[in-house]
Amino acid sequence: MEKKEKGLSVGTRRTIAYVVLAIISFLCLFWFYMLLINSTRSHAELGRGFRLIPGGYMIANLKGMLNGTQPILNGLLNSVIVATCTAALSVYFSTLTAFAIHAYDFKLKKPLFTFILAIMMIPTQVTALGFIQLIRKMNLMNSFIPLIIPAIAAPITFFYLKQYMETALPHELLEAARIDGASEITIFNKIALPIMVPGIAVQLIFTFVSSWNNYFTPALVLVDNDKKKTLPILIAMLRAADFLKFDMGIVYMTIAFSIFPVVVVYLLLSKYIVGGVAVGAVKG
């Protein structure tokens, strides 16, 4: 009788969990569905209110987006360049920094770790004025360099990867590699990085999405050349258009268009995330 009650309790909890997950999934996906629906409707239809049925203006909105006043394809390419370089460099050097803190013992180890975490508390807006003054003196305005190079120092990415190393990269494995004569850079690239792939994949997605959606810093740096502006800036410019040029259908199509690269990156890296969760479950 006790076993039956216990089994019933587990089944009830599982049912509740599935219901909660289904509700959360619906709430997450519904807005994407509405975005796609609205991207197929005209500006006049959108003004009439909410509908669940797709409209017949998808091709017209797509042509309006591509042939409009804003260089959307250039913006897409610019966003891909900035987000890809930012994600790759940030994750690699954050992993390298986390490896140094994890694998070596030195006097300033704890103060350095605390200092890196303290930087997480400083908002980007606080340092924006000094940052803009600096890149003006370096003649780097309207360049991708100020958007990519400073992003290498990512305390949040470092902290996550450092915590992941604590459970996934044992010191005994590093010592065994050193005994076998492997250099430190070989240990990092050939041993640490492959083990860290699941954690790196997660941070690649987060960093790519964060850089892709970043509006504040690019809006300060890319001010004069429209061909170098990223998609978030161009979308904001579309929404800020005057009444005669404003078309909500084209704005929705542009937003939907800007989401696809993020979805592609997630699909490419999701298998590593699932694999990492499975490995963690087996270890646990």
Compute the residue count for the chain.
284
C-alpha closest to that of 56 among 44, 73, 70, 72: 44
Residues 141 and 135: beta-carbon distance below 8 Å? yes
pLDDT at residue 275 in the model: 56
Among 198, 185, 215, which residue's Cα sits nearest to residue 271?
Answer: 198
Could you tell me the pLDDT band of residue 172, with boundaries at 50, 70 and 90? Answer: confident
Query: 41: which DSSP letter?
Result: S
Going by pLDDT thresholds of 50, 70 and 90, the confidence category of residue 86 is: very high
Chain centroid, CA 48 distance in Å: 35
Long-range pairs of 181-184 with CB within 8 A, sequence gap ≥ 24: none
Mean pLDDT (whole number) for 183-210 = 88
Q: How far is CA 32 from the centre of its chain?
A: 17
pLDDT digits (tens, 9 = 90+) for 116-147: 888 888 887 888 888 899 999 999 898 899 99
Do residues 195 and 156 lie in contact, with contact meaning Cβ atoms separated by under 8 Å?
no
For residue 276, give both structure tokens. Answer: 């990492």
User: In Å, how far from its chain's centre is CA 276?
Assistant: 18
Indicate the average pLDDT of the chain. 84
User: Hunting for tokens 């924006």 — which residue is that?
Assistant: 128
Contacts (Cβ under 8 Å, ≥6 apart) of 42: 55, 57, 60, 61, 249
CB 116 within 8 A of CB 155: yes
Asked if 161 and 187 touch (Cβ cutoff 8 Å), the reply is no
pLDDT band at 2 (very low <50, low <70, confident <90, very high): very low
Which residues lie closer than 8 Å to 150 by C-beta, 6 or more apart? 131
Report the alpha-carbon distance of residue 266 to residue 284 in Å, rounded: 26
pLDDT for the residue numbered 241: 63
- Give the rounded distance of the alpha carbon of 279 from its chain centre: 23
| Rounded distance between C-alpha atoms, residue 201 and residue 195, angstroms | 11
pLDDT reading at 173 higher than 60: yes
C-alpha–C-alpha distance, residues 284 and 277, integer Å: 10
d(CA 56, CA 61): 10
pTM, two decimals, is 0.81
Q: What pLDDT is stored for residue 3 in this prediction?
A: 45
Span 274-280, average pLDDT: 52
Q: Does position 84 have pLDDT exceeding 90, yes or no?
A: yes
Among the listed residues 111, 92, 97, the one whose alpha carbon sits nearest the alpha carbon of residue 207: 92
Ranges of each domain in the chain: 2-56, 59-283
Report pLDDT for 244: 59
* Assigned CATH for 59-283: 1.10.3720.10
